[in-house]
Amino acid sequence: MLGEAPQGWAQCPTWTNGSRTVAEQPEHQVWWETVLKPVKRPTSTLIGASMGRGGADATSATARRSCLVLAPHPDDETLGCGVTIMRRVDAGTPVQVAVVTDGSTYPPHKSAADNIATRDAELRAACKVLGLDDRSVVHLSFPETELHLAGDALVDAVSDLVKSCSPDDVLVTSEADPHSDHAVLGEATRRALAGTSARLCVYPIWQWERPRSWVRTLQGSSRPERICTAGYLERKRRAIDAYVSQLSAAAGGELTDDYGLTPSFIRRFMGPYEVFFPIPGGDLGVSAPSARTGSRLGLWLASLIGASAKGVTS
């Protein structure tokens, strides 16, 4: 996940807005982002909730599909896929988690060595809560915030992982995620899966902050799928709580409230569903690609209107 974006943008050069980092944006654009901030978060929350409600229920259909979960940073696997991991583990289904960057840069006031050690310990504690042992958790150790420099080495590393565990599903962050590391990993994974039988599904992280990134995510996807979180949220919250170095003080962690996982951000991942976007091209056993993008957007706009009327629970 790597910190909370808005108030930390000035200190965090890797947050992206389209293809440019926020630090490189013209001053008026940063000002505009600030003005829109109060609108963006509730709008994103509304869209995300409607995606879950309107998605195909894949809770049972996916429980016995083996999966590889690719996380750009320690904590993304738990935020985006925590319940999905638990449901598959409980069904006796093989699950492998791979964290792609080394976690060296965050929190920024600590040394790289300390951050790597702390975040590895937090990852293993969180994954233990999710039901995974140490053998099911691996690191690829690319430098954090520099994934855009990895090039074909990242594609090859993901490809090797897929060959070694032959998963039915690969779960990864989206190319449309506003965070650079997340987007780069999404693209590299799509390239690595070309020609394989694995099904690619992307999960949202920073889409929960940026309305337009939901639309971009949906444009490349088949109908979204939802995994019911009922009965698993207490364990998911315990797994999130393992990331003390990434939690804001208000959420029980070590960071000031300008940074890290805040209570309001965590709530987005504690709703009735986890949402996934299948990327066409693999084995679409659960939901076939249905309508064209324009029709899908119409469906979600209709769903959004319904969400406005009913209120948002996540």
Count of residues engaged in binding Zn ion, rule: CB under 5 A: 5
Q: Is 63 helix (H, G, I), strand (E, B) or coil?
A: coil
Burial of 183 (0-12, 13-18, 19+ CB in 10 A): buried
- Rounded to a whole number of angstroms, the minimum distance from the CB of residue 75 to Zn ion is 7
Nearer to Zn ion by C-beta: 1 or 251? Answer: 1
Judged by beta carbon, residue 243 or residue 300, the one nearer Zn ion is 243
- CB-wise, 84 or 93, nearer to Zn ion? 84
Q: Decide: is 1 part of the binding site for Zn ion (CB under 5 A).
A: yes
Q: Does 279 engage in binding with Zn ion (CB under 5 A)?
A: no
Q: How many CA atoms lie within 13 A of 171 on its CB side?
A: 31
Residue 156 CB, shortest distance to Zn ion, in Å, is 22
Helix (H) or strand (E) holding 20: strand 20-21
Q: Is 177 an interacting residue with respect to Zn ion (CB under 5 A)?
A: no
> Based on CB atoms, which residue is closest to Zn ion, 76 or 122?
76
Q: Among all residues, whose Cβ is closest to Zn ion?
A: 73
HSE toward the beta carbon, residue 103, CA cutoff 13 A: 24
Which parts of 102-150 are beta strand (E)? 137-142
- Sign of the CA dihedral 110, 114, 120, 124? negative
Contact status: 73 vs Zn ion (CB under 5 A): yes
| Residue nearer to Zn ion on the CB measure, 76 or 102 | 76
Q: Name residues contacting Zn ion, limited to 190-229 (CB under 5 A).
A: none
Taking contact as CB under 5 A, which single stretch among the options 66-74, 111-119, 224-232, 240-248 is the one that binds Zn ion? Answer: 66-74
Does the protein bind Zn ion through residue 69 (CB under 5 A)? no
Q: Are strands 273-279 and 225-228 parallel, antiparallel or unpaired?
A: antiparallel
Q: Does 72 bind Zn ion (CB under 5 A)?
A: yes
Write down the least CB distance from residue 2 to Zn ion, Å: 5
DSSP annotation of 24 reads: G
Q: Find out whether 211 and 44 touch, Cβ atoms under 8 Å.
A: yes
Whole-number minimum distance, CB 208 to Zn ion, in Å? Answer: 12
Residue with Cβ nearer Zn ion (76 or 225): 76
Q: How far apart are CA 285 and CA 213, in angstroms?
A: 26
- Binder among 2, 68, 116, 161 for Zn ion (CB under 5 A): 2
Q: How far is the CB of 177 from Zn ion (least distance, A)?
A: 8
Applying CB under 5 A, the span of 21-29, 58-66, 76-84, 291-299 interacting with Zn ion comes to 76-84
Q: x/- site string to Zn ion, residues 21 to 60, per CB under 5 A?
A: ----------------------------------------
Q: Which two tokens stand for residue 52?
A: 């879950």
| Residue of 174, 227, 288 lying closest to 62 (CA atoms) | 227
Instruction: Name residues whose C-beta falls within 8 Å of residue 218's C-beta, 6 or more positions apart in sequence.
Output: 51, 224, 277, 293, 296, 297, 300
Are 284 and 222 in contact by the 8 Å Cβ rule? The answer is yes
In the complex, the smallest distance separating the C-beta of residue 76 from Zn ion, rounded to whole angstroms, is 4
Among 16, 69, 70, 76, binds Zn ion (CB under 5 A): 76
Quick one: 5 or 132, whose CB is closer to Zn ion? 5
Find where tokens 């996982």 sit. Answer: 261
The residue written with tokens 């190319």 in the block is 175
Q: Which stretches of the chain bind Zn ion, using CB under 5 A?
A: 1-2, 72-73, 76
